[in-house]
Chains A and B, each alone.
Chain A
Amino acid sequence: MKFDKASGLSLANLWVAFGFFLVACLLGVYQVAERAGLLADFGLESPVLYFASVSTHGVLMGFVLTTFAIMGFGYYMATTSLKREIWNKPLAWFGFYLSIVGVLMAAVPLLTGNASVLFTFYPPLVAHPAFYIGATLLVVGSWVWCLEMIMTMLAWKKENPGQPVPLAMFGTVANAIMWLWTSLGVAGEVLFQLIPWSLGWIETIDVGLARTMFSWTLHAIVYFWLFPAYIAMYTLLPKAAGGRLFSDEMGRISFIMLLVISVPIGMHHLYMDPFQSAGWKFVHMFGTFLVMMPTLLTGFTVLASLEIAGRLRGGKGLFGWIAALPWKDPLTLAAILALLMLTFGGFGGAINASYAMNTMVHNTQWITGHFHLIFGGTVVILYFGLAYHLWPKMTGKQLASLSMARMQLWSWFIGMLVLTLPWHWIGILGQPRRISITPYDSPLVEQWYPHEVAMFFGGLILIVSAFLLILNLYRTHGNDQVEENSEVEYAEPVHAVVGLPKIMNGFAFWNVVIFAYLIASYAYPIAQFFLMETFGTIPWSI
């Protein structure tokens, strides 16, 4: 059966993602060098440059790499799992170009130091309006992708009545729907507050309201980034490792839980903010701990699937199956390394989520260490694994170098640990986040120093690793070795999916649940700003 796999569209999205990723890595190396005080000797220390760099690094990694990678992988998984073309290809290209226009528009103020407000905006610091408008266009572009995913699934369901939606597509659509729900918060902040205020149409904004709206987006956005990694671990990894998926149904349950639970818990980002009361923070903490459930279930199912693979490959004994896994396969290797980093990072996350313990680490370097480990580690290494797995299928050429891919994954893993473990520790030692230098007359500064130097070496390892990735993917396009197997092979579950309840094959019911949960957890915290007398704040330049 022939159908359009949208390889070109996927590759275009993925190249934008990885191209900007490389730029962001270069900025990252500059930042660790500045932080370690290595540039002071050359007279290159500059907060203007540093904060422009941090803002650009955050926007590129958090918004650009992720959004384009999710769109690229999503289109390809949609066509290959459903074995049909996407719903409206010209519209998908339109979304792609719209997102690019947004990125370029935001890039100008970012690179000229007119949007050094970091990627989380931080009003009442104000950026050039082009920054907010560009970011909005990127988000609108991603909404086009969401629409494509939903409509493609619905079209498939119409053609295949009663059939279970393939798990890869089910997860991708769950992610699209989650992103639509969660991006409403930041969209509200940007459209009704930041843009009119930065253009001078309104004089002041309520910072409490702005931060509450942003919190609505701020947690689930990390699950938006994480989703493709989980989808790969459920649907591609078991097959790549030589086994089967332990449970298709558990995958669906985890995806539904991520969809429903991860949006209305964002207020744990506001634990230390004075304008929300303790009761609401407590309610959101409850939800935050519940969201551990899908991750615990995923850990089990993925490890069980890997064990099946290891035993089918002749692994014996309690741990023998681990050695028998195909460690040379890039996707398998990436997934194993990702699971290790997820385990470390997950423990850190449970501390941050704790209402009281968070006080000790809030806005210290611990937090930045945490999200670099869990995002830069777990999520991004699986983007690499997916890229190595899918590039040959998309291009029809064999991967330029398998050994280079392995070296790249290992070096990313090692670099990430060298970077983030000391990073966590200087947070415990009290270093505040978002600083470029440490001009404090305090004995703490000396305790921080060796860790900052270690982080610099971590950064060096990572930049070498990033170049290896780009080189390998680029050279694959020119490889004259043809890839024989261009089919994307999704893992078969151990037990075939039969008698699936309707609510586990669609999202109508879950949308109602999310809506109700969102109203319950955010209606009053937002409404309170209109019920009490508040005082707005004028824009302040950096």
Chain B
Amino acid sequence: MHVDQTEKKWLYISLFVTAVMIGVLTLFAVGSNIHPPSNVETINSDTLHLEGSEFAEDNLGVKKMPDGSYEVRMVAARYGFYPQKIKVPANTPVKFRFASADVLHGIHVPFTNLSTMVVPGYVSEVNTEFPKESVDTPMFCNEYCGLGHDHMWSKLTVVAKEAK
């Protein structure tokens, strides 16, 4: 078997490049604790609306927690994220929890890392902070969920930290 010297060098360069990429990603994942939404938590999507459910209507929306952080609960259902308008402060930890009442959805606020799939039968959780104030930024459904998918979006307003 014959392997050329130049090719051997390229093999090492390729390995090095790959290792650097994996290294950088590992550094941020482990070092800064940056992970995609992965809470592996099940829920019965048929009974979301019932009394006592975390996602019953009265429990939805923005809540300020005793430690000054915020929690937002939303239900994704064809064709909107409910409640359809939410307001949170900038530069404050916000925990979002989503559940689907019907099919597969996805939520993304452009230019932010608020992004997750919303899968029936499972709860999605995203922890984030919004660095900038904004008014009525679209929260798009980014997963095909039926013929009305184009029309599925809600609005996020980020206000200055003191105002809320």
CA distance A364 to B122 in the complex (A): 22
Say yes or no: B141 contacts A432, CB within 8 Å: yes
- For the complex, is B146 an interface residue (Cβ under 8 Å from A)? yes
Q: Indicate if the CB atoms of B42 and A247 lie closer than 8 Å.
A: no
| B13-71 interface with A by 8 A CB criterion | 14-15, 17-18, 21-22, 25, 28-29, 34-46
Residue on B with the closest CB to A296? B14
Check if B42 sits within 8 Å of A533, measured CB to CB. yes
- Are B36 and A439 in contact (CB-based, < 8 A)? no
When distances are taken between beta carbons in the complex, the residues of chain A under 8 Å from B45 are 535, 537
Q: Does A358 lie at the interface of the complex (its beta carbon under 8 Å from any beta carbon of B)?
A: yes
In the docked arrangement, what's the CA distance between A285 and B21, Å?
11
- Known contacts A124-B120, A356-B29, A535-B45: does B35 contact A289 (CB below 8 Å)? no
B111 touches A430 (CB 8 A): yes
Q: A207-B119, A430-B110 are in contact. Are A275 and B2 (CB under 8 A)?
A: no
Contact with B along A81-98 (1 / 0, CB 8 A): 000000000000000000
Q: Apart from A247-B4, A249-B3, A274-B119, list 10 A-B contacts with CB within 8 A.
A: A122-B103, A123-B104, A211-B119, A246-B4, A281-B35, A362-B115, A430-B108, A430-B138, A440-B153, A495-B2
Tell me how many residues of B have a C-beta within 8 Å of chain A: 65
Cross-chain contact A275 with B10 (CB below 8 angstroms): no
> Complex formed: what's the CA distance from A536 to B44 in Å?
8
Binding site for B on A (CB under 8 A): 47-48, 51, 116, 118, 122-125, 206-208, 211, 246-247, 249-250, 271-278, 281-282, 285-286, 289-290, 292-293, 296-297, 300-301, 304, 350, 354-356, 358-360, 362-364, 429-430, 432-442, 444, 495, 497-501, 504, 528, 532-537, 540, 542
Q: Bound state CA distance, A433 and B145, in angstroms?
A: 12
A206 to B121, CA, bound (A): 8
Chain A residues near B22: list those with CB within 8 A.
Answer: 285-286, 289
How far, in Å, is B119 (CB) from chain A's closest CB? 5
A-B contact count (CB 8 A): 209
Q: Which of A350, A363, A434 has the most CB of B within 10 A?
A: A363
Q: Find out whether the CB atom of B11 lies under 8 angstroms from the CB atom of A501.
A: no
Question: How many Å lie between the Cα of A505 and that of B102 in the bound state?
Answer: 51
Among A122, A362, A536, max chain B CB count under 10 A is at A362
- Interface pair A47/B148, CB less than 8 Å apart: yes
A-B residue pairs in contact (CB < 8 Å), sample of 14: A206-B121, A208-B119, A249-B1, A272-B106, A277-B40, A278-B36, A281-B35, A289-B25, A301-B7, A363-B108, A430-B111, A432-B108, A440-B153, A442-B136
In B43-101, the 8 Å CB interface with A consists of: 43-46
Closest residue of chain B to A294 (Cβ to Cβ) is B14
Q: Are B18 and A292 in contact (CB under 8 A)?
A: yes
Q: Which A residues are in CB contact (< 8 Å) with B40?
A: 274-277, 528, 532
